[in-house]
Each structure stands twice: as structure tokens, then as C-alpha cells.
């Protein structure tokens, strides 16, 4: 069984002062050794995480990156800039990036390939809209997204990636998928990767529902937005 992976997605939240406070609270806690905790922070907080996570069983990463190593791409961040700051993970293809910044399955593929080349673990996000679920094409949508995103991955790389199933209708709405709905899609995803690959669920995860998700055989962790912003709640989620 893969180690349970709890990933905070802070989105566009927290200044340096907020981040410092959060990490100070975490430092006072004892951490379970059988869990993997990750914070995906805004770029501006990565130096803080680099300094403050030392001695903690906490890893961190970014929420996006460009696929090129450098170049004339105003406003973008490269994989080398992330590894330079000690990042281990990077979220790729989050639905908010698709919705507001025109990201596609094709850009996701380039980013996945680039992340793996630079020893970053991509957290690859897939998920259907409410309409697609109503039209009964959820599995088809997920397969299409994964087929494109994972095209260039070797068998070995398929064990290194993390797949996050995030139904778009469940993100930030307070209306999580049921554990059974999530498990059913995770089974579809499992066919693309290996038994050792971490497949995590995201979409309105809270300390009230985390346990039910983690009880499902193919759910190996969670990608947590809103509920990860408060240190006490994040700790509860890690210790579910």
C-alpha cells in the first residue's frame, strides 16, 4: 500500500507573515511517521518553506510551473527555479488553471514530462464537470485526460507520479464526492498507473470526511484546499 499522502493546496492565499505563523504552529506538533505531508504554496512562500521545514517531516512544492528551463516567458517559473528552492512536488493541470488560464491536456503533458525530467513529482489533476457527470461520461473524460497527460511516461515514471482526482463540482463547494463515487473513479485511474502509485482525492475534503475517503482501497491521500489553510485543521487532516 502506498504511504498516505496529504497535500495542502494553498492556492492564492497567505503572505510571508501568515506562512510563518502557520509553520510555527506546525513545529510545535508531533508528526505521525507513517504519513507524508506536503504543502503546495504560492511561489513567494517557497524560500520560507525551504528554511522552516528543516527538521520536520514536511515536504513542499509549487502549484504550477512552465515546462521550459528558461527563456522569454514573462511571469513564468521554471522547473529549475523550483528545484533550486528545494521543492519536491508540483501540481500540474489544476482545474482552476484550465478554467482561468487556458491550460489544456497538451500543456499538462509537457509539464508532466518536464517535471519528471527535473526530479519533481507531478501531482497530475484530473476531473469532470457537473455536466459531464450528469451525462454519464466521467470515466471517458478521466481516461482522455490521463491518456494525454501520461503519454510520454515510462513504466518507472508511472510509479513516481501522483494522480489527483478532483471532480470540478466538488472543489470549494462544500459538496464533496461520496467516498464510493471517488473510489469508483480511482479504480479507473489505477488501470493507468501501478499499485504503488499514489492516487489522491480532492474536492471539499475536511476533517469530518477524510476518514471515510481514506478507508477506500484505492484512495491513497487527499489534495486539500480550503481546509488546509488553518494549521490546526491541517494537522488534524494529516493525523486523520
Q: Which one of 9, 36, 107, 138 is in contact with ligand PGA (CB under 6 A)? A: 9
What end-to-end distance do the CA atoms of the chain give, in Å? 17
Cβ-contact 126, 167 below 8 angstroms: no
Q: How many of the chain's residues bind ligand PGA (CB under 6 A)?
A: 13
Q: Which is nearer to ligand PGA, 10 or 192 (CB)?
A: 10
Helix or strand holding residue 38 (H, E): strand 36-40
Separation CA 178–CA 167 (nearest Å): 11
Q: Which positions from 138 through 177 interact with ligand PGA, judged by CB under 6 A?
A: 166, 171-172
Smallest distance from the beta carbon of 228 to ligand PGA, in angstroms? 7
Collapsing DSSP to helix, strand or coil, 161 comes out as coil
- Catalytic member of 96, 103, 128, 166: 166
Contact call for residue 224 and ligand PGA (CB under 6 A): yes
To the query of whether residue 106 is one of the catalytic residues in this protein, the response is no
Residue for grid cell 508528526:
31
- Catalytic member of 94, 113, 128, 186: 94
Which stretches within the chain are classed as H helix?
16-27, 46-52, 79-84, 95-101, 105-117, 130-134, 138-149, 155-160, 179-190, 210-214, 231-238
Give the residue nearest to ligand PGA (CB).
Answer: 225
Cβ-contact 214, 2 below 8 angstroms: no
What cell does 88 get? 519536491
Contact call for residue 38 and ligand PGA (CB under 6 A): no
To the query of whether residue 113 is one of the catalytic residues in this protein, the response is no
Contact call for residue 90 and ligand PGA (CB under 6 A): no
Q: Which is nearer to ligand PGA, 93 or 203 (CB)?
A: 203
State the Cα torsion 98-204-23-81 to the nearest 10°: -10
Smallest distance from the beta carbon of 78 to ligand PGA, in angstroms? 23
Q: Which one of 64, 160, 204, 220 is in contact with ligand PGA (CB under 6 A)? A: 204
Q: Which one of 205, 214, 219, 238 is in contact with ligand PGA (CB under 6 A)? A: 205
Residues labelled catalytic: 94, 166
> Where does this chain bind ligand PGA (CB under 6 A)?
9, 166, 171-172, 202-205, 223-227
Amino acid at each position: 500500500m502506498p504511504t498516505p499522502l496529504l497535500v495542502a493546496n494553498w492556492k492564492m492565499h497567505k503572505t510571508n507573515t501568515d506562512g510563518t505563523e502557520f509553520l510555527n504552529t506546525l513545529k510545535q506538533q508531533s508528526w505521525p511517521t507513517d504519513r507524508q505531508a506536503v504543502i503546495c504554496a504560492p511561489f513567494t512562500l517557497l524560500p520560507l518553506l525551504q528554511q522552516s521545514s528543516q527538521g520536520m517531516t514536511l515536504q513542499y512544492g509549487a502549484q504550477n510551473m512552465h515546462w521550459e528551463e528558461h527563456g522569454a516567458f514573462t511571469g513564468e517559473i521554471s522547473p529549475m527555479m523550483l528545484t533550486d528552492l528545494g521543492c519536491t512536488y508540483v501540481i500540474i493541470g489544476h482545474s482552476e488553471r484550465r478554467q482561468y488560464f487556458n491550460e489544456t491536456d497538451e500543456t499538462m503533458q509537457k509539464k508532466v514530462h518536464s517535471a519528471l525530467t527535473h526530479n519533481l513529482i507531478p501531482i497530475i489533476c484530473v476531473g469532470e464537470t457537473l455536466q459531464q457527470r450528469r451525462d454519464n461520461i466521467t470515466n471517458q473524460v478521466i481516461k482522455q485526460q490521463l491518456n494525454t497527460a501520461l503519454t510520454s511516461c515510462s513504466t518507472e515514471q508511472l510509479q513516481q507520479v501522483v494522480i489527483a482526482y478532483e471532480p470540478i463540482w466538488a472543489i470549494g463547494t462544500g459538496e464533496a464526492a461520496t467516498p464510493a463515487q471517488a473510489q469508483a473513479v480511482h479504480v479507473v485511474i489505477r488501470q493507468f498507473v501501478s499499485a504503488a502509485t499514489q492516487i489522491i482525492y480532492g474536492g471539499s475534503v475536511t476533517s469530518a470526511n477524510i476518514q471515510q475517503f481514506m478507508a477506500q482501497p484505492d484512495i491513497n491521500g487527499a489534495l486539500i484546499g480550503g481546509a488546509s489553510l488553518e494549521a490546526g485543521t491541517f494537522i488534524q487532516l494529516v493525523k486523520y
